Amino acid sequence: MLKSLPKTLREPLKIHFGEQANLFDSGLHQEKAALASAKADLLSLPEHKNLLLVAQKQLSELPLMISISVFVLLLGSQCFGGYEAARITYTISGSTGIGGVTMHGLPGNPVSDTIGNYTATVDYSWSGTVTPMKEGYTFDSASKRYDSVTAIQANQDYAARLLTFIISGSAGMGGVVMEGLPGEPVTDANGYYRADVDYGWNGTITPSMTGFSFEPASKKIRPVTHDQSYNCIGEKLSFIISGSVGMGGVVMEGLPGNPVTTEKGFYMARVEYGFSGTVTPVKKGCVFKPSKRLYNRVASDHPNDYTTRLLTFSVSGTVTYDGLPLNNVVINGLYGNPVTDKNGYYAGKVSYGWNGAVTPTKRGYSFKPGNATYESVISPKAQNFTATLLTCSISGKVISNGQALSNVVLEGFPGEPVTDSEGRYSASVNYGWSGMVVPIKEGYVFESSRRQYSNVVVGQSGQNYSGKLLSYTISGMVILERIGLGGVHVSADDGTASGRTDWQGQYSITVPYSWSGTVVPVKEGYAFDVAKQKYVDVTDNRVGQNYSAKVLRYAISGRTSSDGEPVEGILVSADNGGGASKTDASGKYEILVNHGYSGTVKLISKKYTFDVAEQRYSNVTAAKNEQNYEVTLRTFTISGSIFIGGEPIEGVSMTLDDGAGSDITNAQGYYSIRVPYGWGGVITPVKAGYRFNPPTKRYLNVTLDIDEDESERKREVSDVVGQSISEQYREAERRAVVESISAEEYREAERKAVEQSISAEEYREAERKAVVESISDQYREAKRISVEQSISDKYREAERKAAERSVSAEEYQEVELISVEQYREAEREIIEHEMFEREVSEEPIFEDSGIVTKQPIISNVPSSMERAASDHKFIDRPAGHVMLDARIVMMKREDLLNMDVEWGLSETEADIFSDSNHHGDVWIGYGRGVEFTNSLGLTLNLLERKGQASIVSSSQLLVQDGKEAEIGIGSEGHSSLARDVAVDSGDYRNRGELEEIEYGSILNITPHIGLNNEITLDFSVAIRDVVERGDNYPVAMRRVINNSMPIQDGGTVSVSGLKKLQSYSSESSAAGLGNLPLIGGLFKGKPDDSAGELVVFITVRLISDAVVGSSASPAAKQGRSERQSGSSPRREPVREDFKKELERILSLPD
């Protein structure tokens, strides 16, 4: 307040009042002590004393603010020439309708009283905005503006409205009452509810619906200041019906699931709210009380018990001796062991389902039957007994290994009794009988081989014997590739015996005497040549019962696709010996792994990325199909900037010629276009009013991001290095561009060169010499200087990126580790490559044979030309050759199967007779190495010397890589064809016709030689067999078998089953084979019981270029220098008379 006074008055007040003046300034005007102090100080001033004493009484009764105002006025009146002045004020008042509303904007922000009235005093010409505010309320007028108040503002009223909010949510079902909310809303058919509540409302919401509980059961709502939600889930109430029936196994029919009582007779079932039904306890032989219970709309737990009573039945009968009743016979087994009365009658009670035996006993008597056995008694039973006097029964049981032994003869007893199916026997002997008893059964020995009886006067039971069955062993070995296989479970299919092979693959199992059954070898991941071996009536040891095993293999297969389309050519590789496969045109792949394989299958491609690049497999025990992968074609960006006079050009359209993409330069002249992997094409810049140099730019096989700005900076550095290069170089560069123009333009340029009396070759040579001579020295000097000088960071980066383009991702890591000298050499080659990359073309060369080839024409600096020539020599290698050494041998199938040494030399050699290579009667096998071939030759020579094989023919074929060779065995003959022919009666009659066709076998062999001299043979075997018919004419049946297999240089392939022949010994000639030149004697003899067949052995050897011919080109010889040179071929052509005679014999039926 003091601040509003004139300075002439404010300063004296501060001097005289000190802290009180400050107190006034700070607004602490409600402290009476401060007011009293201020008044005392003012009264002490002589110039104010008279005036202030007049007003002292009034000042003490006024509020502090008014007192201060009066003091100020009084003081002011003393400062303005004796005039009294007072500030004019007005009131602004009204009603808000409710109390506690703060009137922001009025002096002191007054608050409405309990009935909503407010008032405020403002100075003359006061201006401001008044805003009523109270939490939880809004007002019809959010605020009122006052400008220069010059009158009392009354009835400035506002209408207040209490805020309301929404509480809503879901109870999961309709009809739920949301208790606690205003109006207790009910959820609709979809389970939703809504309620409006006033600001500050609070309470507890509880969902309620008969038969249901909710989670959460309720929600406490604090004073509401915003919309809220409360969701809950209802669950139907359930209750327990339980109790006891006094015994186990009782079915409580009618309860959910028909529960069965426990051993102690308890039951329990849970039913839903409102359950109604009848519950009936059920068990055979029992009566329950009550018999059933009715439940109606269950709304609580129900514990209910039942009492149980068992049914009982009588077991009775009579005992007679010699047709008369026999009393005092004890009936053992019944409750209380009843005794027969004078009428020989007995009776006893048993419960429902009783099991037991009833035995009559009386000294000096035996009874027939000796006892009566009862099982599950459910009705009264009657059993009579007949007694026999003065006989003794000797009985017992014969067991073996705890099991009853039947059909054992007890020699020595009268009648020699035999044990029954339970191993029991019984013998009757006269009183005082003596004798020796011996148990006898084939295949058994007994612990008590004989038993002596003397003077038997009472019956004897428990005369038991224990027998032991004789047993025999079945033993052998399980072999995997000539090595014992451990851990194979060998067992009898009936569970009689089992065993497991040890680390040497040996096993032994024991079977009982005369056992018959099947022995089965089993090991996870393996198959066996004999899946099961049957035995009949084993009465001795069986040794040498061997099995051959092989490892099971499973396929991991699937498909690669991109956006639903198959992707071809992706390498799928499995580590740990799993092999590899490339996806075919349909995106499919398949690799084979051994049983139990664990490893990682990876996808490899420079062109694609993968959602899952590798898949881990662990313990593969079945085929893994549908192992599919989604791949994505890699894309790269081609970017750069376009300037004119150093200023960027905006709005240039950069368009790909194939429509694959486009971009428009921005304000910095920058553009960026994304292209797929391997993209090639032309980018054309277009903007009205501009020409561009070059007008287009061609890209080939884009495999990384291309930054033309970076390339331009590199070219600028290169221009600095090569600034002394002559105009001939630029002309040569232009010529390189000319060579990429159309054929018509090229021929026109060539024609003009001819018109100038210079031939095309002379023109190119002169051009090349001029370029090389003019730039070589200058370039080397400039390059030497630029290399020795410090290369800028940008130049190094440009060179590194250029180097990355010429190496693979794997090689790139090595680029950063090369030496300085290697870096400089790579730098020089990169620059040469970019300067002359268009100087290689291909000219069509027309040969006299009419075949059009392409001869490369290279123009470059000498170092690059030498490298290009070396690369071309490596690529332009002539096709290789292999020598196929074929031997046709006649031998027996069993001899072929017994050639173990040839067919299983090592793990890398396939089993020649494995199931995978067996096609009907045709068997295809191979041995990959020279060792196999040498062993084969020795074995065939040995068999031939022993008369067990005959080498019918040997021949050699020189075959080019990728070309097909054919070996034919057979001749021509007639075959019967059946036709239906119409006859006059309207029926059809079958008529036979003859057709001349070829019989025998044709082998088509195509070798493929890899870069590392690995050999793969594609086989196709076509067989036309002869089947005899009743009309004496044969019928031909054709089969075709295809196969492919890898083989080493010097390895041998065998094909058997091509033609069956009858072998003979020394007393007759074999169907004309005795007439064969040179070897006819091999086929003269006496026929035996076994049939032979023709087997073809084909040895494959790589042939060096020197052997093929000295006319091969130097490049071809250099390309083959690394190949192994095989032995020179032995050319031993088969004589013509031999071939004709062999064809005639082979055409005969078997």
Same domain, 969 and 983: yes
Mean pLDDT of the chain: 74
Q: Kindly report, residue by residue over 324-347, the tens digit of the pLDDT.
A: 999 999 999 998 999 999 999 999
Q: Kindly report, residue by residue over 366-381, the tens digit of the pLDDT.
A: 899 999 999 988 889 9
Same domain, 186 and 259: no
Residue 423 lies in a domain: yes
Q: Which strand (E) or helix (H) includes residue 1062? A: strand 1052-1064
Q: How confident is the model at residue 665 (pLDDT cuts 50, 70, 90)?
A: very high
E strand residue ranges, 868-964: 881-892, 918-919, 922-927, 949-960
What burial class does residue 757 get, using C-beta atoms within 10 Å of its C-beta: 0-12 exposed, 13-18 middle, 19+ buried?
exposed
Instruction: Classify each residue of 140-175 as buried b or exposed e, where b means 16 or more C-beta atoms within 10 Å of its C-beta.
Output: eeeebebeebeeebeebbbebeeeebebbbbbbbee
Same domain, 937 and 814: no
Residue 429 belongs to domain with CATH number = 2.60.40.1120
Average pLDDT over residues 999-1016: 81
pLDDT at 703 over 70: yes
**What pLDDT, on a 0 to 100 scale, did the predictor assign at position 1043?**
76
Question: DSSP state, 418?
Answer: B
Average pLDDT over residues 634-658: 90
Position with higher pLDDT, 1057 vs 1146: 1057
Contact 412, 436 (CB under 8 A): yes
| Residue 535 identity | Y
Same domain, 719 and 830: yes
Q: Can you tell me which residue has the tokens 């995978």?
A: 916
Same domain, 628 and 563: yes
Lowest mean pLDDT across 268-272, 673-677, 941-945: 941-945
Residues 1006, 1007, 1011, 1012, CA torsion sign: positive
E strand residue ranges, 401-482: 403-404, 409-411, 424-430, 433-440, 444-446, 451-456, 465-469, 471-480
Among 875, 892, 911, the domain-final residue is 875
Q: Give me the percent of the chain exceeding a pLDDT of 70.
A: 63
**What pLDDT, on a 0 to 100 scale, did the predictor assign at position 992?**
47
Compute the distance between CA of residue 93 and CA of residue 77 in angstroms, rounded to an integer: 31
Instruction: Kindly write down the DSSP assignment for every residue of 766-829, as one continuous string.
Output: HHHHHHHHHHHHHHHHHHHHHHHSPPPHHHHHHHHHHHHHTS-HHHHHHHTT--HHHHHHHHHH
Contact 837, 699 (CB under 8 A): no
Residue 327 lies in a domain: no
Compute the distance between CA of residue 394 and CA of residue 458 in angstroms, rounded to an integer: 9
Sheet harboring 679-686: ordered strands across?
662-664, 653-656, 679-686, 697-702
**What pLDDT, on a 0 to 100 scale, did the predictor assign at position 648?**
92
Contact 827, 801 (CB under 8 A): no
Same domain, 661 and 643: yes
Average pLDDT over residues 790-801: 48
Average pLDDT over residues 947-971: 78
Residues 6+ apart with CB under 8 A from 940: 887, 889, 949, 951, 1097
Q: Can you tell me which residue has the tokens 């046709």?
A: 888
Q: Kindly report, residue by residue over 858-911, the tens digit of the pLDDT.
A: 555 555 566 666 666 656 667 788 888 888 888 776 666 555 434 433 333 333
Q: Which of 905, 901, 974 is nearest to 937 (CA)?
A: 901
Q: Kindly report, residue by residue over 1049-1085, the tens digit of the pLDDT.
A: 888 888 776 655 444 333 333 334 444 443 444 344 4
Lowest mean pLDDT across 473-482, 683-692, 779-788: 779-788
Alpha carbon 740 to its chain centroid, in Å, reads 51
Sheet harboring 614-620: ordered strands across?
579-582, 571-574, 597-604, 614-620
Contact 256, 271 (CB under 8 A): yes
Compute the distance between CA of residue 501 and CA of residue 169 in angstroms, rounded to an integer: 71
Lowest mean pLDDT across 403-417, 538-552, 554-568, 1051-1065: 1051-1065
Residue 1114 lies in a domain: yes
Compute the distance between CA of residue 1081 and CA of residue 954 in angstroms, rounded to an integer: 18
Q: Kindly report, residue by residue over 32-56, the tens digit of the pLDDT.
A: 454 555 555 555 555 444 444 444 4
The four Cα atoms 966, 969, 975, 977 give a dihedral, to 10 degrees, of -40
Among 142, 162, 182, the domain-final residue is 162
Residues 6+ apart with CB under 8 A from 287: 308, 309, 311
Contact 491, 499 (CB under 8 A): yes
Contact 1060, 1122 (CB under 8 A): no
Position with higher pLDDT, 847 vs 655: 655
Q: Kindly report, residue by residue over 494-512, the tens digit of the pLDDT.
A: 998 999 999 999 999 999 8
Taking 3-state DSSP, the helix, strand and coil percentages for the chain, each rounded to the nearest 5, stand at 20, 45, 35
Question: At 590, phi and psi to the nearest 5?
Answer: -155, 130
Task: Please give, one letter per residue, the 3-state secondary structure of 119-187.
Answer: EEEEECCEEEEEEEECCCEEECCCCEEEEEECCCECCCCCCEEECEEEEEEECCCCCCEEECCCCCCEC
Hey, is 743 helix, strand or coil? helix
How many C-beta atoms lie closer than 10 Å to residue 990's C-beta? 8
Alpha carbon 655 to its chain centroid, in Å, reads 43
Cα-only R_g, the chain: 58
Contact 833, 865 (CB under 8 A): no
Average pLDDT over residues 461-484: 91
Position with higher pLDDT, 103 vs 20: 103
pLDDT at 693 over 90: no
pLDDT at 26 over 80: no
Q: Kindly report, residue by residue over 721-778, the tens digit of the pLDDT.
A: 445 444 554 554 455 444 444 445 545 655 554 454 444 455 455 555 544 444 444 4
Q: Which of 1071, 970, 976 is nearest to 1029 (CA)?
A: 976
Residues 6+ apart with CB under 8 A from 784: none
Average pLDDT over residues 1091-1120: 60
Domain that holds residue 848: 714-875
109: left (phi over 0), alpha (psi -120 to 50) or beta: left
Residues 6+ apart with CB under 8 A from 741: none
Q: How confident is the model at residue 955 (pLDDT cuts 50, 70, 90)?
A: confident
Among 441, 469, 497, the domain-final residue is 469
Residue 625 belongs to domain with CATH number = 2.60.40.4130
Residue 1136 lies in a domain: yes
**What pLDDT, on a 0 to 100 scale, did the predictor assign at position 322?**
87
> For the chain, what is the domain count?
10
Tokens of 308: 């149980």
Question: At 711, phi and psi to the nearest 5?
Answer: -65, -40
Residue 540 belongs to domain with CATH number = 2.60.40.10
Residue 355 lies in a domain: no
Position with higher pLDDT, 31 vs 1003: 1003
Residue 909 lies in a domain: yes
Residue 453 lies in a domain: yes
**What pLDDT, on a 0 to 100 scale, did the predictor assign at position 1051?**
82
Q: Which strand (E) or helix (H) includes residue 1144? A: helix 1136-1146
Same domain, 622 and 720: no
Residue 385 lies in a domain: no
Q: How confident is the model at residue 940 (pLDDT cuts 50, 70, 90)?
A: confident
Tokens of 1143: 């064809």
Same domain, 208 and 302: no
Position with higher pLDDT, 927 vs 738: 927
Compute the distance between CA of residue 844 and CA of residue 984 in angstroms, rounded to an integer: 72
Q: Spell out the long-range contacts of 730-737 with Cβ–Cβ below 8 A and sequence spacing 24 or more.
A: 731/767, 731/771, 732/767, 732/768, 732/770, 732/771, 732/839, 732/859, 733/835, 735/767, 736/836, 736/838, 736/839, 737/838
Q: Which of 856, 725, 703, 871 is nearest to 786 (CA)?
A: 725
Same domain, 964 and 1096: yes
pLDDT at 1040 over 90: no
Compute the distance between CA of residue 1061 and CA of residue 1073 in angstroms, rounded to an integer: 10
Question: DSSP state, 224?
Answer: P
Q: How confident is the model at residue 971 (pLDDT cuts 50, 70, 90)?
A: low
**What pLDDT, on a 0 to 100 scale, did the predictor assign at position 710?**
80
Q: Give the bridge partners for 1003, in sequence order.
A: 967, 1021
Residues 6+ apart with CB under 8 A from 253: 279, 280, 281, 282
**What pLDDT, on a 0 to 100 scale, did the predictor assign at position 1147?**
60
Alpha carbon 1074 to its chain centroid, in Å, reads 65
Q: Which of 619, 573, 571 is nearest to 592 (CA)?
A: 573
Q: Kindly report, residue by residue over 563-613, the tens digit of the pLDDT.
A: 889 999 999 999 988 888 999 999 999 999 999 899 999 999 888 999 888
**What pLDDT, on a 0 to 100 scale, did the predictor assign at position 293?**
92
Residues 43, 49, 53, 58, CA torsion sign: negative
Q: Which of 913, 912, 1095, 1099 is nearest to 1021 (CA)?
A: 1095
Hey, is 711 helix, strand or coil? helix
Position with higher pLDDT, 481 vs 1013: 481
pLDDT at 935 over 90: no
Q: How confident is the model at residue 256 (pLDDT cuts 50, 70, 90)?
A: very high
Compute the distance between CA of residue 306 and CA of residue 290 in angstroms, rounded to an integer: 6
Compute the distance between CA of residue 716 and CA of residue 735 in angstroms, rounded to an integer: 21
Same domain, 1137 and 1011: yes
Same domain, 56 and 41: yes
Lowest mean pLDDT across 232-246, 869-883, 1012-1026: 869-883
**What pLDDT, on a 0 to 100 scale, did the predictor assign at position 432?**
80
Q: Give the bridge partners for 42, in sequence order.
A: none
Q: How confident is the model at residue 522 (pLDDT cuts 50, 70, 90)?
A: very high
The four Cα atoms 926, 928, 929, 933 give a dihedral, to 10 degrees, of 10
Average pLDDT over residues 380-389: 90
Instruction: Kindly write down the DSSP assignment for every residue of 333-362, as one continuous string.
Output: TSTT--B--TTSEEEEEEETTEEEEEEEE-
Compute the distance between CA of residue 937 and CA of residue 502 in angstroms, rounded to an integer: 36
Instruction: Kindly write down the DSSP assignment for every residue of 959-995, as one continuous string.
Output: EETT--EEEEEEEEEEEEEEEEEE-TTS-EEEEEEEE
The four Cα atoms 560, 562, 567, 573 give a dihedral, to 10 degrees, of -40
Same domain, 924 and 1065: yes
Contact 975, 992 (CB under 8 A): no
Lowest mean pLDDT across 401-405, 426-430, 1083-1087: 1083-1087
Compute the distance between CA of residue 986 and CA of residue 992 in angstroms, rounded to an integer: 19
